[in-house]
Amino acid sequence: MAMLNLFEVLLFAVAAGLVGSMTGLGGAVVVTPLLVFFGVPIKYAIAASMVCIIATSSGSASSYVRDGLSNVRAAFFLEIFTAVGAIVGAVITSFLSPTLLYFFFAAFLMTSFAAVRRRQSAAEEPVKQDAWAKSLQLSGSYFDRPTGKQIRYELHRPFWAAPGMFVAGLAAGMLGIGAGAFKVSIHEVILGMPSKVSTATSNFIIGMTALAGASVYFSSGLLYLNLAAPLAIGTTAGAFAGSRVLRNLRNETVRTLFLVVLAVVIVEMLYKGLTSL
Amino acid sequence: MSDDLKRLETAISWILKIGVVSSGILAASGLILAYLQTGSANLTLSPQWQVPTRSFFSFVFEAGPSLTSNPSPMNIVALGIVLLMLTPYTRVVASVIYFGKVRDVKYLCITLLVLIIITSSLLWL
């Protein structure tokens, strides 16, 4: 294994946290491939990432929740499914071959890329609350800084989102990522959430998904504290900065940044998978 | 969004902030101490830093006493990571208490279910 340096790990963790928070990806989508790039075995990278996601997500979610940007009711409902998915996913990874994990990583992110890319061309259409969403009180409002307006929104089809959130949790637990890309697309495409609320809510849910996954990795012998700790510190610092930048960005800018980061990570994981065959 | 939910949001925001900052301070202190003791910034994945294979809660109950009896860098970092993992856990507990207090049965059941799932996983997996 390549020699890792504490300060280098801290530095790239800050960068990963910044990008992860600004895009709603959760940081680990950048952290796991970077650790693998530095020669850390993928299962150790996944376990460490899973713990560091708790810090990244909680760090940025603290300000999103305070500002009312995260829809907490939607989050409470959806995290039932992501938590179960993450536990199942983490158990699967304990038995899976590392080569398969690279391909799963790339394949999963490709689906997120396609879903969000398709959505990019469509303008954000407000949706009408249906009976289930009304029963779960799924609506809200947030202050949009670039336009200076208070924007009200309603959500619909909460139960349609449930299987998607289970899959998001499964992928998160398996791959040591927040699966923010997938969650964001479910929020936007199925629930009809505005992009910024979707990113903020995803950050909030990711903390719980990561805890569910980490609960399995914690006792699996795959977790190294000297790897998880600098990652957690660095990504949290980056996430604090990232959440402040997000509020001043336009929805389209957030989405474009999201797609660029995903594309780079997909290429790296495919390369890693092919060279390890 | 009701004012009541705003109270919960403020509480959650503080729980997350305090959890992340305190765990970060502990983990950073442990890492700095390790650096000062060894004089090296190399990160080696040695068994000394590996979390032993036992459930989270048994680790939690041992983290405090271990730190008092042996304030090693590893034990300080371990306590930091434990605090970090307890952060989202605490915000679910706070949500359960809140929805119980305001008698919102639907969301009490939803948050309670999340709490049961996470607790089971932390106890048995």
Would you call A230 and B113 a contact, using CB atoms and an 8 Å cutoff?
A: no
Residue extents of the structural domains in chain A: 10-122+158-275
Among residues 174-233 of chain A, which lie with CB inside 8 Å of chain B? Answer: 207-208, 210-212, 214-216, 218-221, 223-230, 232-233
Mean pLDDT along residues B79-102: 95
pLDDT score of A1 more than 60: no
Q: Which pLDDT value is given to residue A236?
A: 85
Q: Which pLDDT value is given to residue B1?
A: 46
Report phi then psi at B34, rounded to 5: -65, -40
Chain B CB contacts of A77 under 8 Å are 110
- Give CA–CA dist A135/B119, Å, rounded: 27
- Give CA–CA dist B102/A213, Å, rounded: 31
Chain A CB contacts of B114 under 8 Å are 76, 79-80, 83, 208
User: Are A101 and A43 spatial neighbours (Cβ–Cβ below 8 Å)?
Assistant: yes
Would you call B50 and A61 a contact, using CB atoms and an 8 Å cutoff?
A: no
Q: Which pLDDT value is given to residue A246?
A: 67
User: Are B49 and A6 spatial neighbours (Cβ–Cβ below 8 Å)?
Assistant: no
Q: Which of B80, B114, B125 is nearest residue A229 as measured by Cβ atoms?
A: B80
pLDDT score of B100 more than 90: yes
CA distance B82 to chain A (A): 10
Q: Which pLDDT value is given to residue B87?
A: 96
Per-residue pLDDT reduced to its tens digit, A178-220: 888 788 888 988 999 998 899 889 989 999 999 999 999 988 8
CA distance B53 to chain A (A): 4
Q: Say yes or no: B88 contacts chain A, CB-CB below 8 A.
A: yes
CA distance A241 to chain B (A): 14
Q: Say yes or no: B42 contacts chain A, CB-CB below 8 A.
A: yes
Would you call B114 and A76 a contact, using CB atoms and an 8 Å cutoff?
A: yes
- Give the ipTM of the model, two decimals please: 0.92
Mean pLDDT along residues B93-113: 96
CB atoms inside a 10 Å sphere around CB B124:
11
Per-residue pLDDT reduced to its tens digit, A224-269: 999 999 999 998 888 778 767 766 777 677 778 778 888 888 888 8
Alpha-helical (H) ranges within chain A are 6-23, 28-37, 42-66, 72-95, 98-121, 131-135, 158-175, 180-186, 195-218, 225-246, 251-275
B26 forms bridges with which residues in the sheet?
none
- Examine residue B73 and state whether it is found in any structural domain, yes or no: yes
Q: Which pLDDT value is given to residue B15?
A: 97
**pLDDT grade, residue B47 (50/70/90)?**
confident
Q: Which of A4, A65, A90 is nearest residue B12 as measured by Cβ atoms?
A: A65
Q: Which pLDDT value is given to residue B45?
A: 84
Q: Say yes or no: A69 contacts chain B, CB-CB below 8 A.
A: no
Q: Say yes or no: B61 contacts chain A, CB-CB below 8 A.
A: no
User: Are A98 and A178 spatial neighbours (Cβ–Cβ below 8 Å)?
Assistant: no
Q: Say yes or no: B36 contacts chain A, CB-CB below 8 A.
A: no
Mean pLDDT along residues A85-102: 91
Would you call A80 and B54 a contact, using CB atoms and an 8 Å cutoff?
A: no
Per-residue pLDDT reduced to its tens digit, A123-156: 567 888 888 999 999 998 888 877 888 889 999 9
Q: Which pLDDT value is given to residue B31?
A: 93
- Examine residue B82 and state whether it is found in any structural domain, yes or no: yes
- Examine residue B118 and state whether it is found in any structural domain, yes or no: yes
Domain that holds residue B73: 16-38+54-124
Residue A24's region, left for phi above 0, alpha for psi from -120 to 50, else beta, is: left
Per-residue pLDDT reduced to its tens digit, A19-59: 777 766 667 777 888 888 888 888 999 999 999 889 888 88
pLDDT score of A119 more than 80: no
User: Are A200 and A70 spatial neighbours (Cβ–Cβ below 8 Å)?
Assistant: yes
B99 forms bridges with which residues in the sheet?
none
